[in-house]
Structure 1
Amino acid sequence: MTETLSQSTMLSDALVILGAAGIVIPVFHRFRITPVIGFIMIGLLVGPFGLGRLVPQAPWLYHVTITEPEALEPFAEFGIVLLLFTIGLELSFNRLWAMRRLVFGLGALELLIIGALLALVLSMTGLETTPAFALGFALALSSTAIVLPISGTSSPVGRAALSMLLFEDIAIVPIIFVLGALAPYAQSEGWEGLVGTLWQGLLVVVALLVVGRMLLPRLFAQAARTKSPELFLAASLLVVMGASLATAATGLSPIVGALIAGLLIAETEYHGEVEGIIEPFKGLALGIFLITVGMSIDLAKVWAQAGSIALAVLGVLVLKAIVTSVLLRLMGARRSTAAETGVLMASPSETTLIVLSAATAALLIDRDTAQFWQIVTALGLTVTPLLARLGRTVARRVEPVPEIDEGSGTAPRVIVIGIGRVGRLVADMLEVHGKPYIAIDSDADMIERARRKGYQATFGDAGRGNALDRLGINTAPAVILTMDEPVLAQRLTSKLRKEHPDLPIIVRARDLAHATRLYRAGASHAVPETLESSLQLSEAVLVDLGVAMGPVIASIHEKRDEFRALLQSEAALDHRPKLRTGAQDLG
C-alpha cells in the first residue's frame, strides 16, 4: 500500500513538472523571455511554501503541487551536471583565442574585482573571510542563460557581455574545484585531507584529459557511423556520467567531471551534434533544478526579511553595474555601451545557485545564509529582463544619440527607414546609380556601424515626432521601409500614406499575406521576401537548364508584375464597402 502511494506521489509530481514545462517554455518563448524565470516562479507557486501550504485545507491541490521536494533532488543535481557539461561544450580553444584580450583581460578583471569587493562588504557584515569570498565570487557571476539571448553576440553590448560570461564559465572550473576539494574536510581533517583530495583530483583530471583525447573521437565516430540518435545520446550520457563519477570518487564535485567532459568533446567535430541531442534533456533537468530553487523560497521569510532582501538585491545590482561599467570605459568602450552592459550584467546567475550549493556542501556557508542568498539570486534572475530595458534607457541618457540631419538646404533624397542588412543593400544600389539617400534607424549601435562603413545614416525614430520632416520627406522622391517588423511597417505605411498621398512608398514584406495588408495600408509596392526568393530560384534553374538569359529575365518580370497586380486587386477588394445584413440592421 505504501509503495503504491509512493508511486502515485511520484507520478503526480512528474505530471506537475511536465505540465509546468509544457506551459512555461512556449509562453515565455512567445514573449522572448527566458524560461529560467518561469521555472523559478512555478517552483514558488507549487512548492511547500506556495500552494503546498493549502493542501490540508484544500486536498484537491495535492494534484497540482509538489508533495515530495526531496525526491526531486537527484534530478536537480543531474540538471546541474548537464548545464556544466553544455558550458564546457560551448568553450573551445579557438573561440577563446579570438577573444583572448576581452575574455582574459576584461572578463578576469570584472570577476576578480567584483568578487573581492562583494567579499569585503560581506566580511564587514560579520561573515568570516573564507565564506565571504565563496559567497562574493558566487554573486559576482552573471547569467549566461538570460543575458546572451537578450544582448545577442554581434552588438558591442553583446560582445562585451559574451567575453565576461566566457571567463565566468571558465572560472567555474577552479571555483567548483576548490569548493569540491574543501567539502569533505572543511571541519575536521584540515590541510592533509585537502591536499590529498587535490592531488588525487588533479591525477583524475589529467587522466580524463589524456584518455578523452584518445578515445572520444573514436567513440563518437563509431556512434555517427550507425546513424542512430539513440546510440549518440547513450554515448554522450556515458561520457558525462563516467567523468562525473570519476571526479566524485576522489572527493571532488561531479560537475567538475561534467565540465571536463564538455571541454573534451568541444574539441571534436561531433560537439554540435552532442550539444543538439543533449539540449532537450538539459533544458528539462535544469528546469527541475530551478523549480527546486523556487520551492526553497519561503514567502513568509521573504516578507519577514523584506527589507534585508531588498537591500541585498539592490546592493549587489548597483555594485556590479558600477564596476562593470567603469571597467568597460577603461577598456575603451563607449559610455552608452558601458552603461547598458553594466546594468544588464548586474544580476546574479543560475550558476550562482550552483556555487552556493557547493559552498553549503563544503560547510563554508550555513543553510540559513545560503537560503537568504538563494532568494536574493532568484529575485535578481527574475528582474534581469527589466534590467535590460533599464540599461537601454540609461545608455541613451549618459550618451545622447547623434542629432538628426536637417533636411533643409539639401537636394531631394530617398529616405531609407532601417539600416540593417536589407537597408544597406538598398543604399548600395542607390549609391551605384547616383541617387542621393539618407537612412534613419532607432538603433544607435546600428547607426554607428553603418557610418563607419560609409553609409549616410542618422539616428531617429521614424514613427515618432517630426523625424522624417527634418529629413525632407516633403521633397523626398520615395520612402523605402526595410525593417523586419511587420506590424510597425504596416502602421508606418498607413501613417505616411495619410500624410503624403502622392509619395511613392516601397515596403519590405514578410510574405504574400503581409504584402496584401501593406497594399491595403497604402504601399505603392510591397516586396514579399518569399516571392523574391522563389523567383530567384526559378531564374537560376532556368539559366542552368540552358534557357537564354533574356527570355528568363522577361518572364521573371512578367511573373512579378502578375503577382503584384493580384495582390493589389485583393487589397482593393478588401476595401469594398460591406453589405449590411438584416441581422446587423436589427442589431
Structure 2
Amino acid sequence: MAGEAVAAAEAAGHHGGTDLVSVVVLLAAAVIAVPLFRRLGLGSVLGYLAAGLVIGPLGLGVFQDAQSIIHVAELGVVLFLFIIGLEMQPSRLWAMRGEIFGLGLVQVAGAIAALTCVGLALGFPIAQSFVAGTGFVLTSTAIVMQMLEERGQMALPKGRRIVAILLLEDLAIVPLLALVAFLAPGGAEVTVADRLTGVAMGLAAIAALVLAGRYLLDPMFRLLARFGAREVMTAAALLVVLGAAVLMQAGGLSMAMGAFLAGVLLSESSFRHQLEADVEPFRGLLLGLFFLGVGMALDLTTIAANWGLIAICVPAYVILKMGVIYGVARMTRAGHGEALERAVLMAQGGEFAFVLYATATQVGIIDGAANAVLTAIIIVSMALTPLMILLHDRFGPKATAAMDGVDAVEELSARVLLIGFGRMGQIISQPLLARGHSLSIIDTDAQAIRDAGDFGFKVWYGDGTRLDILHAAGAAEASLIIAAPNSREAVTKIAELAKAEFPLVPVLARAFDREHALDLVKAGVEFQIRETLESALVIGREALIRLGDAPEEADDVMTAIRGRDIERFAMECVGGIYAGRSMLHGNKDLAEPAQ
C-alpha cells in the first residue's frame, strides 16, 4: 500500500511537471537520519548511507536507479575539491609536490601491488586481479574529505598529507584507465599514436584551464561584481566550477581534478571568499546526496548471492590496504598515531572504482556479474569506514603532540612564573621582559613551544594544573604567578592550586567572562581581568569619538561605565551571586552581556 501511494504521488508529481515527492523524500531522509546518527556518535556519513538504504530499491523502494543519483551527486565531490583548491595557493601547492608525487605515488604503487595479490590468491587471472585491487586502492575522496572536515583536521599537517595522497589518486585515474584498456583482449594493438593523443588532450585541457584562470576569471568576476546581480555571481561561481570539470573530463582527466585546479587558480583572487560562500551550500547538499546514492546502490541481493567471496575480499582488501598505508606513513617518519589514523581513514575503496570497473566491463576484462560484486565490495567498505573511525577513536591510541625540540619542565627559578604562552600570554610577557624581569614560561602546546623558540623565547613543556609541575617551575620561590592558558577550567584550577599551596605568592589571572571572573575572585586571586573588557571599552570610546563626541566627553562616559561595572562586580562578589546571576538578569538597568 505504501509503495502504491508513493507511486501515485510520483505520478501526480509528474503530471504537474515537477517530481516534488522524490525531492521531499531525499530531504526528509537526510534531515531525520543525519542528526540521529550524529547524536549517537556515528557521524553524518553513516547516517546518509543508512538513509539511502532505507529509501532505496531494497528499502521503501522510493528510488530504483541509484546510479543516476550518484552520477548527479558526484558534483558534490567536484565542488568539495574546488573549495579545497581555494585554500591552496600555487606556492603552497608547489611546496606539497614532494608529498603528492612522493608519498602519494609510493602509497598507490605499494597498495596496487599488495591488493592485486588478493585476486591471484583466489585463483583469478592477473588482469582481473589487477583491476579489482586497483579499484580498491582509489580511496573515496568524498568520505575522507568529509571525515577530515568533521574532525577539524583539514588544515593540519596530517590532514594536508592525506589531501596530497588523494590528489595523486585523482591524477592516477588517467594512466590507470589507459592501462586497463591495454590489458583488455586486443588492447596491446592500440597504437602509440592513440596513447600520445590521449596524453596531449589531457595536457591541452590543463593548459587551457591555466590560461583561462590566469587571464579571464578574475576580470570576469570583477565585471560581474560591478554590473551583475547577486544571483549572477552565484551562477558564475557554479559556471567556473562545472566548466572546469567538463573541460578536464573532455581531456580524459577527472572532473574533481578540474575543479581543484580552478580553485587553485582563484585562490589568490580578491573574490575567493565570495566564491567559497556561493559554492558551499551546493557542495554540502550534493555531497549528502552522493552518500544517499551510495546507500541506495548497496545491493543486498548481490551481497547475499556472493556473501562468501565478499566476506573474504572486504577484510582482505581493507587489512592489506591499511598495512600498506601504515607502512608507508611510518617509512616517511609519521608517528604511530598519525599512521594508524591515516590507515583507518583511507582503508575503503572509492567512487573512482566505479569508473574503473565500468571501463573494465566495457573492454571485456570483467563481466557484468563481476562488476556488480566488485561494486558491492567497494560500497560495503565505504559503509564500514565510519564504524572503523568510531572504533579507532574509542580504542585507538590517543593523539599526543610530537615532543621533538620541546623540553619538559625541570627545576626552574625566575621572578615571574607565566603559565600559558598563547595570544594573551605573549602580550603579557612583553612589558615584563622590557623591564628586565626574569620569566619562567610553561605551556602544554608542543607546536606553540617550537614556534616560540623560532622567535627566541624559551618555553618549557608543563601542565600548570598539576601541583608537581608548579613546584618544578618554581612557583614557591616566584614573586608572581600569572595564569593565562587558553582554557577557563585550567585558569581556575591553577588559581585554586596556587592559592592553596603558595598563599603568599600573588596570582594574576586571565578571566574569560564575568562569571569566570567571579569564580577567580572566589578562588582568592589578587587580580583578574576579563580578556575582552579593556579592548571592548577602547573600541567603545573610539566609536563615540567617530560619532562626534569630543575625546573628553568620551572619556567621561567610559569612566562612568567603568565605575558602574566595578560597583556591580563588587555587589556580585559580596552577594555571592556566582551562578545564574538571576538578580542581574531580572533587572533591566543592571543586565549586561557576559564580557
Please confirm whether the aligned pair reaches a TM-score higher than 0.5, indicating the same fold. Answer: yes
* Corresponding position of 1:109: 102
Deviations 1:128-158 (A, max 9, x none): 464267347524989455447757688xxx3
AA aligned to 1:432 is A
In structure 2, the residue corresponding to 1:484 is in which secondary structure?
Answer: coil
Q: For residues 68-110 of structure 1, give each alpha carbon's deviation from its aligned partner in whole angstroms, at most 9, with x where no partner exists.
A: 645632442221222233344333323234x2xxx22244221
2:111, 2:509 → 1: CA distance?
Answer: 52
Name the structure 1 match of 2:116. Answer: 123
Kindly indicate whether residue 227 of structure 2 is the aligned counterpart of residue 229 of structure 1: no
Matched, 1:317 2:322: yes
- 2:11 counterpart letter in structure 1: E
AA in 2 matched with 1:15 = L
Q: Indicate the larger mover: 105-114 or 491-500.
A: 491-500
Q: Secondary structure at the match of 2:360?
A: coil
C-alpha distance after superposition, 1:148-187 (max 9, x if no partner)? 7757688xxx33652x345335425522434566788985
Counterpart in the other structure of 1:439: 441
Q: Deviations over 1:278-335 (max 9, x none)?
A: 012112211221333345557996997667645644443343233223313xxxxxxx
Question: Does residue 1:82 correspond to 2:75, yes or no?
Answer: no
SS of equivalent to 1:126: helix
CA contact (8 A) 2:136 2:317 kept: no
- Amino acid of the residue matched to residue 493 of structure 1? A
Task: Give the AA of the match of 2:286.
Answer: A
Counterpart for residue 216 of structure 1: 217
Alignment-derived partner of residue 123 in structure 2: none
The answer (yes or no) to whether the contact 1:21–1:287 under 8 Å persists in 2 is no
CA contact (8 A) 1:416 1:437 kept: yes
Aligned pairs, how many?
Answer: 543
One-letter amino acid of the structure 1 residue matched with residue 374 of structure 2: T
- If the length of structure 2 is used for normalisation, what is the TM-score? 0.74
Kindly indicate whether the alpha-carbon contact (under 8 Å) linking 2:241 and 2:262 is maintained by their aligned counterparts in 1.
yes
Moved more, 354-363 or 341-350: 341-350
Which letter does structure 2 place at the counterpart of 1:278?
Answer: V
Does residue 1:404 correspond to 2:409, yes or no? yes
* Residues 489-516 of structure 1: CA deviation (Å, up to 9, x unaligned): 3344345445555553322223334333
Partner of 1:326: 331
Kindly provide the amino acid, as one letter, of the partner of residue 514 in structure 1.
H
Range that drifts further, 297-306 or 515-524: 297-306
Aligned equivalent of 2:380, options 375, 383, 401 = 375
Tell me how far 1:271 sits from its aligned partner. Answer: 3.0
Corresponding residue to 1:94 among 88, 91, 95: 91
Equivalent residues in 2 for 1:413-562, closer than 5 Å: 413-464=415-466, 466-501=468-503, 503-538=505-540, 560=562
Q: SS at 2:343's partner residue? A: coil
Q: Pairwise mapping of residues 170-249 of structure 1 onto structure 2 (< 5 A)? A: 170-179=167-176, 187=184, 190=187, 191=190, 197-211=198-212, 213-226=214-227, 228-248=229-249
Q: Measure how far apart 1:42 and its partner are.
A: 0.9
| 1:4 equivalent among 8, 12, 16 | 12
Rounded to whole Å, the distance in 2 between the matches of 1:554 and 1:568 is 21
Asked if the contact 2:167–2:257 (Cα under 8 Å) also holds between the matched residues in 1, the reply is no
| CA offsets 1:33-57 (integer angstroms, 9 cap, x no match) | 9xxx7332113332336998675xx
Is structure 2 residue 357 aligned with structure 1 residue 360?
Answer: yes
Structure 1 residues 310 and 461: CA distance shift in structure 2, 3 A: farther
Q: How does 1:245-264 map to 2 (within 5 A)?
A: 245-248=246-249, 253-264=254-265
Shift of 1:10: 0.2
* Deviating more after overlay: 107-116 vs 518-527: 518-527
1:15 aligned to which of 8, 27, 32:
27
Amino acid at match of 2:79: L
* 1: CA distance, partners of 2:346 / 2:235: 30
Q: Which runs of 5+ in 2 are unaligned?
A: 1-7, 121-125, 581-595
1:159 alignment partner AA = P
Contact kept, 8 Å, 2:407 with 2:461, in 1: the verdict is yes
Q: Equivalent residue for 1:581?
A: none
Partner residue in 2 for 1:331: none
Structure 1 letter corresponding to 2:420: G
TM, length-normalised to structure 1 = 0.75
Q: How far is the alpha carbon of 1:381 from its aligned partner? A: 5.4
CA contact (8 A) 1:347 1:384 kept: yes
C-alpha distance 428-252 of structure 1, shift in aligned 2 (>3 A): closer
CA contact (8 A) 1:348 1:377 kept: no
Q: Aligned AA for 2:119?
A: G
Displacement after TM superposition at 1:230 (Å): 0.8
Q: Which moves more between the two structures, 114-123 or 87-96?
A: 87-96
Contact 1:416 1:438 in 2 (8 A): yes
The code of the aligned residue for 1:42 comes to G
